[in-house]
Every structure is written in C-alpha cells, then in structure tokens.
Amino acid sequence: MIKNDLFLRALKGETVERPPVWMMRQAGRYLPDFMKLKDQYDFFTRCRTPELATEITVMPIHQVGTDAAILFSDILVVPQAMNIEVEMKPGLGPWLPNPVRTTADVEKVIVPDVHETLGYVMEAVKMTKKELNDEVPLIGFAGSPWTILCYAVQGQGSKNFDIAKKFCFTNPAAAHTLLQKITDTTIAYLKAKVEAGVDAVQIFDSWGGMLSPEDYQTFSWKYIQQIIDALKPEIPVIAFGKGCWFALDVMARSGASALGVDWTCSPKNARYLTGGNITLQGNFDPSRLYSPPAEIKRMVNNMINEFGKDRYIVNLGHGILPDIPVENAIAFVEAVKEYKSN
C-alpha cells in the first residue's frame, strides 16, 4: 500500500483533507543536484540509464516534498523508438535532422516492439518503484500524438509549428497515418509502463493549443481519446492540453480521471466547462514562482479556494522553469500542505 495516497484518492474523486501537489518537470533543471548530473551526462543518456532516471525522479520527493513522483524521461523517446532520429541540442532543444515531410517518410516510420526499443524506460519504472518504497505514487507519461507529430514534421521546437500544420492540411492522409502509428506506439508504451508498475499516466498535449477547435478534434483529440479508451480500464489517466480550454467540455466526457488546466483558464471557468464533477489539475503560472515565497503561499491558498479542495490536484499550468529558486518551489508545496479550508 502506498503510504501517501492523496494523489490517487484525488484522481478517484474522494474527499481529502487537503489536495495533493506535484509539479510538471519537478525532476529537473531547477534542482542543483540535477544540474550536477547534467554536467556529467548528456540528456538522452540520463533518459536511457535507469539508475540515473531513478535518481532524478526521486530527487524532488526528498528535496521538495511533492505528493507524487513523475518518471524522468522525455516525450521524444517515442519517436526515437519509431525510427525517427531525435537529438537534444544545447541551447536549442529537440533537433530532428531528418523530419517527416512526405508520404514516403511516413512509410519509413515503424510501430516498434516497445519492450525492445524502450525497455530502458520500463527498467527505470521498476527501479524507481523500488527506490520510492511505496512512499508516494509514480506517474508515467507520454506526449500526445499531435504533439509528437509537431516535432517529427517541424524538426525542432517552434512558436507556431507552421510546417507541421501545413503537412496536416496539404497531406491529411499521410498525417492521419502518422498520427495513428504514434497512437498505436503510445498505447503499447503506456501499457508497458503500467505493467512495470506506474500508478497513473499523463498525456501531455503541449501543442494542442496551436490548433483551432475544429482541427483540434480532427488532428489531436480523437487520438488522445483512443489512448484514454485503451488505458482507462487499467489505470487513472490524466489528459493535459496546454491552451486547450476550448475542448474541456469534450475532454470531461472522455473517461479520463483528471484534466490538466493551464493558467490562461480560471478555476471557475474550468469547473464550469467541465461540468464540475471531474478532477482538475493545475494551474499556477510557472513564472509566478519567481514571486517571493510569502506571495506564492498566498496565491496558492487562493487557487485552492477557487478550485475547491476536492477533485483537485495542485500543480503548475506547465513545467517548472529552470531558474526558479528551490526555496520558492518548496514554498509552493508547503502552501498546499499547510492548507486549511475556510
């Protein structure tokens, strides 16, 4: 039995004494011990070495005190497994030297045996579960098919993913073939993580907000729905679409256990759009962690009051930024642990 099961209880919609708290990208660049490892090992070495991934995953549990751990990995290990080369370039981020731009390129993309190509992730899950020793739950994750397509076609990060969108709108048949291959791989990958021992999974649709509401349903949500349908009988699923407040009503009917919300949607609107009876997660602006600790605590308290303590998981509206002071991250977590409903 997991000793601190607040996160899992919130996902089930149970009444809790206080909401649970964790932070997207909590196992990362703002922690000095993480930076020491970063200086020694390149990014994908850290992802592919179970011992390193475990050490990094557990770090914030001991140093910041969050109520759940999220496995240190990256959404781009999935396209790597699918025969799409991905590098991580310092100062640039993801770099794909051979982007997928044509029907012929899509044909070369494979649906792999995830145990062969991504076995190192499952090893990291098992090792991390052992290291956590049932203190807190472990979250596994994957990128949404649309978000993976954005990188695969664009070839790098982008402000508007214009090349990816052009590909979808000029060659929709190839785009849907690619999206389905990513979906099939992601389902197998997440199921393997469940077998390895994760307690919940989250789907990150980081670039969903790039699409119009109609295109979102066509090129993103219907594939996320397939993943939710495949996983929900086995494990709680959290769906997070950054900038996708316009789809919250559809998401709320998906069978997901919780929905992530970013900081551009107020708690009141998020509750209204989702019908008020699904667990929500979010939505503190990551930049607000630059504020003084006392101010952070005041704002977190207000945020919880606005969302309500039940059916709610305190989180950021996106990943923690690399230069946030550790004491500010701790203040964010402490504010939740000290919370008393008015």
Answer yes or no: are the C-beta atoms of 254 and 225 closer than 8 Å.
yes
Residue 29 is assigned to a ligand binding site: yes
Distance, in Å, from the CA atom of 325 to the CA atom of 93, rounded to the nearest integer, reads 22
Within 8 A by CB and 6+ apart from 260, the residues are 202, 238, 239, 240, 241, 280, 281, 282, 283, 315
Residue 254 is assigned to a ligand binding site: no
Sort strands 138-143 and 69-70 into parallel, antiparallel or unpaired.
parallel
The number of beta carbons lying within 10 Å of the beta carbon of residue 93 is 13
Both tokens of residue 147?
A: 């978000």
Residue 205 is assigned to a ligand binding site: no
Residue 26 is assigned to a ligand binding site: yes
Both tokens of residue 176?
A: 């849907």
Residue 9 is assigned to a ligand binding site: no
Residue 176 is assigned to a ligand binding site: no
Distance, in Å, from the CA atom of 48 to the CA atom of 229, rounded to the nearest integer, reads 29
Residue 44 is assigned to a ligand binding site: yes
Answer yes or no: are the C-beta atoms of 206 and 319 closer than 8 Å.
no
Radius of gyration over every alpha carbon of the chain, rounded to an integer in angstroms? 19
Q: Tell me how long the chain is.
A: 342
Answer yes or no: are the C-beta atoms of 13 and 259 closer than 8 Å.
no
Residue 189 is assigned to a ligand binding site: no
Q: If you ran DSSP here, which 8-state letter would residue 218 be given?
A: I
Q: Look at the alpha carbons of 248, 151, 231, 127 in this order and tell me if their dihedral is positive or negative.
A: negative
Both tokens of residue 2?
A: 């997991």
Residue 257 is assigned to a ligand binding site: no
Distances (CA, A) of 287 to 88, 131, 257, 320: 24, 31, 27, 8
Distance, in Å, from the CA atom of 152 to the CA atom of 167, rounded to the nearest integer, reads 11
Residue 151 is assigned to a ligand binding site: yes
Residue type at 207 in one-letter notation:
W
Binding residues: 25-29, 44, 74, 151, 206, 318
Binding residues for substrate: 25-29, 44, 74, 151, 206, 318
